[in-house]
Chains A and B, each alone.
Chain A
Amino acid sequence: MSRNIIEVNDLTKKYDELVAVDSISFDVKEGEIFSLVGPNGAGKTTTVEILECLRKPTSGNARVLGHDVKNEDEKIKKKIGVMPQDFNTFERLTAEENIKLMGDLYGSDNVKEIMRKVGVDKFKNKKFDDLSGGMKTKVGIGMTLISNADLLFLDEPTTGLDPHARRETWNLIKDLKKMGKTVFLTTHYMEEVEYLSDRAGILINGKIEVIDSIENLIEEHGGGIKVKVLEDGEAVDIINDRADEVLRGEDTWTGIFDNKKEARQALIKLFQLDAKVEVEEAGMDEVFLRLTGGKIDEGGELV
């Protein structure tokens, strides 16, 4: 396998009494998209910002590109690209001016090329303040990319974006991987983890519950069949009676069946009722549910 680009050992961060990150250990490998996923307040940003040398760890250690985060800030900062959570930049500078500023800070001048790559050139002369959320994210990724760094940190890059902009951002992140970048992503969208990452860690209350490749996670903790019922009534009773676990959506009920036979029988019943159903293979949602007994809602809260 490729080499470790980030190594985290027993890392702990306390804010006074609050243990935000609780002796976590993990590695990130060169060239992969790694996701740290967890609900609000899990400690994602704290972890990422320790790696970016923006916060001091309380104990434990971490190496980024071979450098110690505790005392090699300068070396690390030159070699990484960062997009902080709720990222912001000079509001009255244009998209291009903001990217150019970053270029100057990193000593690179391929502004045009970067703008083209991330699709900023169409609105490069608009002030940052006047951009939509999706456009801002593109500028943010452009500002990260112009570091010419091989390791990029994106802290919740798609939070708050509409589905279309989120899709676009996903494609952009996939492109980053194609450019050979290693991407460290945080998110609370399971769909995003599944679609983008090679490996993921689930972080809850400052602790890593599990960490593995997406395939392994799904194979070990997911698997099974998801049957989603789109209407109330008898169909829901069938799901409640037969499924191993039930996830409630706004007006949908999703039954997860570990056993394919069970799932088939339930489906036959449902079809006899002529109920509206969707069938999917279970993914990260179920992995998360199985491991934590909960789910993360759209706002990032654990429910």
Chain B
Amino acid sequence: MKRAFSLFLSLTKNWLRSKSGVFFSILFPIMLLLIFSTVFGGQEAAEYTLHVQNDDLVDGNETELSEEFIEALDSSESLNVKEVDNITEDRQDRSFGSYRALRIEEGFHEQAKNKSIELRMKVIQNTTQYMDEQGEEINLDDFTAESAEIVLMLSEDDQAGPMVKGTVYGVINSFNSRMLGLEEGDTTVDITEESHKERGLHPVDYYLPGFIAAFIMSNGIIGVTSNISEYKRNGVLKRLTATPLKKRDWILANVGQQTVLAFGLTAVMILVAVLIFDAQAYPGPYAIGLIFMGAVAFCSVGIVLGGLIKDVEAASGAGNAIAFPMMFLSGAFIPIETMPDYLQTVARFLPLYYFHQGLREIMILQNPSEALLAYLIIGIFAMIFIVLAIKTTRWKDI
């Protein structure tokens, strides 16, 4: 154990002093995170999707006024209306991007109409009262009506919330004056605001666990593979095998180094994402556990590849050939929902898919129970490759 620890320190120091090593393992991932979160983070701000559930139906058809109202919302510059059958269900299907919704309550058409009548009557009454001061009193029957109801649902910390709200109020105003001919200040529609607890998630919240997982993977499969084959080529490994160091110490030291690197990378990535993009990450014990297992698993793959492939170029080529397709196909960078079906099937065969999904459930959505499959798959994967690493690492005749 002491030998493994001492070797671990040496491996780590030797790595830390390598500029290209540190660049590709830590700085490069951060640069990509910055680029992705900035470039793809900006897109959402142009237009906000508002999910609308229209409950004001007659014989299954949308009433005239509710339909007009929806159209008015949609034609506003900053809103993009998406009609859904059921907001609650729809919301559960998506985890990312703030969910913004509006429900048009039953009776919208009727009430809006009646309310407008009431308001117009009032106008007339005011006029008659003014006339009354000079002559006889004209008495009109009191006509009162309920306001039409809509419910606007925004998440508590949706940064675009106030702006969406403002737009909706604006649309109501013009709806009142244009459609119902009311004067400014009068309204037929009551807005109930509901804020849901669901946190507003930004693109960075998707990329963060994706990038952490992807680069722990590539540090193992690309980095460890080429490090080990390089140590084999330049004789450092032979120097070590000629000491009382045991094979398991060597494997332990490498796995230890990758684990520390994985935690370091995670910490720095989270820090950058939180400080610059206001990301919401909660790295608790479950996340630490999964990151540990991932680091062990992918480092072991690297030990196996580096141990099996003699030529340094071939080894790093093999690492790249495995790691890069896996990065993109697993949906670590682009949600797999946007990919063709057959690629989605491919993704589900990749350990990285479970790794980043699991990490996202735990760290971003705070749903560790949703990550059980990830734990299981990464755990089994780690065990298989640790055994393979022990079997394929040669301590003699290297």
Q: List residues of A whose CB falls within 8 A of some B CB.
A: 52-56, 73-74, 77-78, 82, 84, 86-93, 97-98, 101-102, 104-107, 127, 143, 147
A77-B244 in contact given A89-B236, A92-B14 (Cβ < 8 Å): yes
B18 near A92 with CB under 8 A, answer: yes
Q: Which residues of B contact A91 (CB under 8 A)?
A: 14, 234
Closest chain A CB from B58 CB (angstroms): 77
A97 near B10 with CB under 8 A, answer: yes
B245 near A54 with CB under 8 A, answer: no
In the complex, the chain A residue whose C-beta lies closest to that of B18 is: A92
Q: Which residues of B contact A101 (CB under 8 A)?
A: 6-7, 10
B13 proximal to A (CB < 8 A): yes
Other-chain residue from A55, A87, A105 in contact with B397 (beta carbon distance below 8 A): A55
Q: Which residues of A contact B235 (CB under 8 A)?
A: 84, 86-88
A78 near B14 with CB under 8 A, answer: no
CA distance A252 to B374 in the complex (A): 76
CA distance A98 to B7 in the complex (A): 10
B243 near A90 with CB under 8 A, answer: no
A105 near B14 with CB under 8 A, answer: no
**Binary contact readout B234-250 vs A (1 if CB under 8 angstroms, 0 otherwise):** 11101111111110000
In the complex, the chain A residue whose C-beta lies closest to that of B245 is: A105
CA distance A102 to B241 in the complex (A): 12
Q: Which residues of B contact A55 (CB under 8 A)?
A: 396-397
B197 proximal to A (CB < 8 A): no
Interface size on B, residues (CB 8 A): 25
Closest chain A CB from B2 CB (angstroms): 7
B17 proximal to A (CB < 8 A): yes
Q: Which residues of B contact A147 (CB under 8 A)?
A: 243
B3 proximal to A (CB < 8 A): yes
A56-B243 in contact given A88-B234, A97-B13 (Cβ < 8 Å): no
Q: Which residues of A contact B241 (CB under 8 A)?
A: 54
CA distance A224 to B7 in the complex (A): 54
User: Which residues of B from 160 to 180 have beta carbons under 8 Å from A?
Assistant: none
Q: Residue among A77, A97, A104, A147 with the most chain B CB within 10 A? A: A104
Q: Which residues of A contact B398 (CB under 8 A)?
A: 54
B243 near A102 with CB under 8 A, answer: yes
CA distance A74 to B6 in the complex (A): 19
Other-chain residue from B6, B234, B238, B396 in contact with A56 (beta carbon distance below 8 A): B396
A74-B10 in contact given A87-B239, A104-B2 (Cβ < 8 Å): no
Q: Residue among B7, B18, B241, B398 with the most chain A CB within 10 A? A: B241
Q: Which residues of A contact B6 (CB under 8 A)?
A: 101, 104-105
A74-B396 in contact given A87-B235, A90-B10, A92-B14 (Cβ < 8 Å): no
A105 near B13 with CB under 8 A, answer: no
A88-B243 in contact given A55-B397, A104-B2 (Cβ < 8 Å): no
CA distance A97 to B234 in the complex (A): 18
A93 near B14 with CB under 8 A, answer: yes
Can you report 8 residue pairs joining A to B where beta carbons are below 8 Å apart? A84-B238, A91-B234, A92-B17, A97-B10, A98-B10, A101-B6, A105-B6, A143-B239
Other-chain residue from A89, A104, A143 in contact with B3 (beta carbon distance below 8 A): A104
A93-B396 in contact given A88-B235, A105-B243, A105-B245 (Cβ < 8 Å): no
A54 near B18 with CB under 8 A, answer: no
**Binary contact readout B211-240 vs A (1 if CB under 8 angstroms, 0 otherwise):** 000000000000000000000001110111
**A/B pair count, beta carbons within 8 Å:** 74
Closest chain A CB from B275 CB (angstroms): 31
A105-B17 in contact given A88-B239, A97-B10 (Cβ < 8 Å): no
User: Which residues of B from 1 to 32 have beta carbons under 8 Å from A?
Assistant: 2-3, 6-7, 10-11, 13-14, 17-18
In the complex, the chain B residue whose C-beta lies closest to that of A92 is: B17
Q: Which residues of B contact A54 (CB under 8 A)?
A: 238, 241-242, 396-398
CA distance A74 to B243 in the complex (A): 9
CA distance A104 to B2 in the complex (A): 8
User: Which residues of B from 281 to 302 have beta carbons under 8 Å from A?
Assistant: none
User: Which residues of B from 319 to 368 have beta carbons under 8 Å from A?
Assistant: none
Closest chain B CB from A236 CB (angstroms): 44
CA distance A84 to B237 in the complex (A): 11
User: Which residues of B from 374 to 398 have beta carbons under 8 Å from A?
Assistant: 396-398
Q: Which residues of B contact A86 (CB under 8 A)?
A: 235
Q: Which residues of A contact B246 (CB under 8 A)?
A: 74
CA distance A53 to B243 in the complex (A): 10
A92 near B13 with CB under 8 A, answer: yes
In the complex, the chain B residue whose C-beta lies closest to that of A15 is: B397
In the complex, the chain A residue whose C-beta lies closest to that of B240 is: A105
Closest chain A CB from B347 CB (angstroms): 38
Closest chain B CB from A84 CB (angstroms): 5
Closest chain B CB from A138 CB (angstroms): 15
**Given A84-B238, A84-B242, 15 further pairs, Cβ under 8 A:** A54-B238, A74-B246, A77-B242, A84-B235, A88-B239, A89-B239, A92-B17, A92-B18, A97-B10, A104-B2, A105-B7, A105-B245, A106-B244, A107-B244, A143-B239
In the complex, the chain B residue whose C-beta lies closest to that of A86 is: B235
Other-chain residue from B17, B240, B242 in contact with A52 (beta carbon distance below 8 A): B242
In the complex, the chain B residue whose C-beta lies closest to that of A104 is: B6
Q: Which residues of A contact B239 (CB under 8 A)?
A: 82, 84, 87-89, 143
Closest chain B CB from A194 CB (angstroms): 28
CA distance A102 to B236 in the complex (A): 12
In the complex, the chain A residue whose C-beta lies closest to that of B235 is: A88
Q: Which residues of A contact B17 (CB under 8 A)?
A: 92-93, 127
CA distance A55 to B245 in the complex (A): 16
User: Which residues of B from 255 to 314 have beta carbons under 8 Å from A?
Assistant: none
A82 near B13 with CB under 8 A, answer: no
CA distance A101 to B3 in the complex (A): 9
CA distance A128 to B104 in the complex (A): 74
CA distance A90 to B17 in the complex (A): 11
A105 near B396 with CB under 8 A, answer: no
CA distance A90 to B240 in the complex (A): 10
CA distance A97 to B13 in the complex (A): 10
Q: Which residues of A contact B234 (CB under 8 A)?
A: 88, 91
A106-B13 in contact given A55-B396, A84-B235, A88-B235 (Cβ < 8 Å): no
Other-chain residue from B10, B236, B243, B396 in contact with A106 (beta carbon distance below 8 A): B243
Other-chain residue from A77, A87, A93, A97 in contact with B243 (beta carbon distance below 8 A): A77
